[in-house]
């Protein structure tokens, strides 16, 4: 529901979290997309919005179950992120060992491969270079 270029970050308990996230996205949000989102919410109303949120939660559970099944079938695993109710992460160890490394391909290429096939929102972090990589999280932002 958030248009491209728009974002809403709400952290009533951990207000410092908003500041940390803000440092990742300096100057990227403008008022235009937020106004579009606000008008969309007004038009759809509370009942429709709550229905869509409930549907998103159900879809998340279904997607995680299915992703777990596929990952396990290929010797991978879906990472546990109990405080993150919107994103998922899984390993690509087998793909990295059998395809990327033998062919000299950086694992991040897989993200661009998916994006070119209209899969959006995917982030691939290459850990095969032996360096520890930080991924934004509630603790690590």
Please check whether residue 67 is in contact with residue 78, taking contact to mean a CB–CB distance below 8 angstroms.
Answer: yes
Query: For the chain, which ranges sit under pLDDT 50?
Result: 137-141
Let me know the angle formed at the C-alpha of 58 by 55 and 59, rounded to the nearest 5 degrees.
85
pLDDT at position 109: 87
Sequence ranges of the domains in the chain: 1-75, 92-141
Of 80, 79, 74, 99, the closest CA to residue 90 belongs to 79
The SS3 of residue 90 is strand
Q: What is the 3-state secondary structure (H, E, C) of 27-82?
A: CCCCHHHHHHHHHHHHHHHHHHHHHHHHHHHHHHHHHHHHHHHHHHHCCCCECCCC
pLDDT at position 117: 92
How far apart are the C-alpha atoms of 64 and 48, rounded to whole Å? 24
**103-136 confidence digits (pLDDT tens):** 988 888 888 888 899 888 888 887 655 555 555 5
């Amino acid at each position: 529901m958030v248009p491209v270029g728009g974002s809403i970050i709400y952290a009533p308990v951990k207000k410092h979290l908003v500041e940390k996230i803000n440092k990742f996205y300096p100057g990227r949000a403008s008022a235009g997309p937020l106004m579009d989102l606000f008008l969309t919410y007004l038009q759809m109303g509370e009942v429709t919005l709550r229905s869509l949120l409930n549907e998103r939660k159900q879809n998340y559970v279904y997607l995680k179950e299915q992703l777990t099944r596929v990952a396990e079938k290929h010797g991978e695993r879906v990472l546990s992120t109990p405080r993150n109710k919107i994103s998922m992460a899984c390993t690509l160890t087998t793909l990295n060992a059998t395809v990327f490394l033998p062919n000299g391909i950086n694992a991040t290429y897989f993200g661009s491969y998916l994006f070119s096939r209209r899969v959006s929102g995917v982030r691939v972090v290459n850990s095969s270079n032996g360096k520890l990589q930080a991924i934004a999280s509630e603790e690590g932002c």
